[in-house]
Structure formats: C-alpha cells, structure tokens
Amino acid sequence: MPGNQLVYNLSTRIFGRAAFVTGVISVLSGAAAVITPQASLFYIIVPVVFSVIFLFSIYMLLRKKPILVLTESGITSSTASKSEIPWENIRAIQVVEIRKQQLLCITVDSAVINRLSLTPFLEKRRQWIISTLGLTLHQNSDYVFAAISNLSASPEQITATIKNLAQLSRDERVRNLKALGVK
C-alpha cells in the first residue's frame, strides 16, 4: 500500500456496548440456569447464544483490520471488495440508507466491477442493494457499496473527505492526505 493513507476503523463504542450487554445477559441467564432446579432448554440456549454474540463483539473490538482506507490511488473497503477502487474510475458518491445502515454508494465505470475481487456473497449483496434502492444502471456505469455506519468518523465527514479527494489530482491528493496528518 502507498505510504499516504487515511484509515477508518470500526467505532469501539457500539461493540463495547454490545460486549457489555451480552456479557451481562450471558452471566445472568447462566446463573439462572444453575439456580433453577428444573432448568429448561431456554436456560441452556440463551447463555450459549449470548456468549457467542459476546465473543463476536470482543473479536470485533480487538480486530485491527481497517474497514475503509483512502490512499492517493483509490479507496479500499473491506465491506465492498478486496481490491482498490481507483479515483479515476469514480463518477459519483452519495450516502444511502437501508434498514438504518448507512452505505456509501460509489458510482464507478462498469469495467471496474470486473476488476474488483468480489466474493459471491458481496456480489449478491450488491445486486440486492441495487434492486432494493431501485437504482438503474446507466450505460458504462455500475455501483459499489461500502458500509460506513459505526466507523470512527461520521458518515458526513467520510463522504465529504471522499468527494474532496475524488476531485483532486494525484499530487493534490498526496498533499491533502499529508495535511490531514496521514502517515
């Protein structure tokens, strides 16, 4: 990866709360199962389910993989694809919301979709979002979606930064990323 990059990670706020709440529920329901002489299946399943959610929340808190990375050459999102989307191929950017989840909708040249390494799951998700939003594909363009809810910056800040960087030349992007204090 290039030296200048702006990284957005998951906010620890939401997964910290989830870990705390599920941990408490897991402990209390486990204690209830021990105290209750005729423990039903409910008292066995609830602690197991909440323990799994608790462990997932802890995993997400400790995970160091960035969700969204902006570099001088493009955007990489672990929720959109494993490949970088070059700035030159970005036509438009907007924020859309589905089921209270905010997504960055990036309109790109249709040739970019073929180069992105989309897993079958990500491709099905992308097609579902396009049909849910009722988006129409224009000639030579397609859409890529990146989840931006619960990141370390607000969706408005992320969108404004991306729109600004998309309009700049490569040299100006490098200077802008350095001005933002990027390593």
pLDDT, block means (10 residues), the chain with 183 residues: 59 65 74 64 73 76 76 80 80 83 82 72 80 75 78 82 85 82 59
DSSP 7-48: EE-B-HHHHHHHHHHHHHHHHHHHHHHHH-TT--HHHHHHHH
Q: Is residue 98 a contact partner of residue 134, using CB atoms and an 8 Å limit?
A: no
Query: Among positive and negative, which fits the CA dihedral 67, 7, 58, 21?
Result: negative
Write down the pLDDT at residue 142: 81
Write down the pLDDT at residue 164: 86
State whether residue 108 is helix, strand or coil. Answer: strand
Write down the pLDDT at residue 1: 42
Type and span of the H or E element at 145: strand 141-147
Q: Is residue 26 a contact partner of residue 54, using CB atoms and an 8 Å limit?
A: yes
State whether residue 115 is helix, strand or coil. Answer: helix
Provide the token pair at 42: 């409910």
Q: Is residue 71 a contact partner of residue 85, using CB atoms and an 8 Å limit?
A: no
Write down the pLDDT at residue 125: 80
| Residue given tokens 């290039």 in the structure block | 2
Q: How far is CA 142 from CA 18, 100, 106, 126, in A?
A: 35, 23, 8, 10
**Range list of H helices, the chain:** 12-35, 41-62, 110-115, 120-133, 155-167, 170-179
pLDDT in tens, 75-88: 887 776 667 888 88
Residues linked to residue 85 through DSSP beta bridges, in sequence order: 75
Write down the pLDDT at residue 13: 59
What's the CA gap between 108 and 92, in Å, rounded? 7
Write down the pLDDT at residue 163: 86
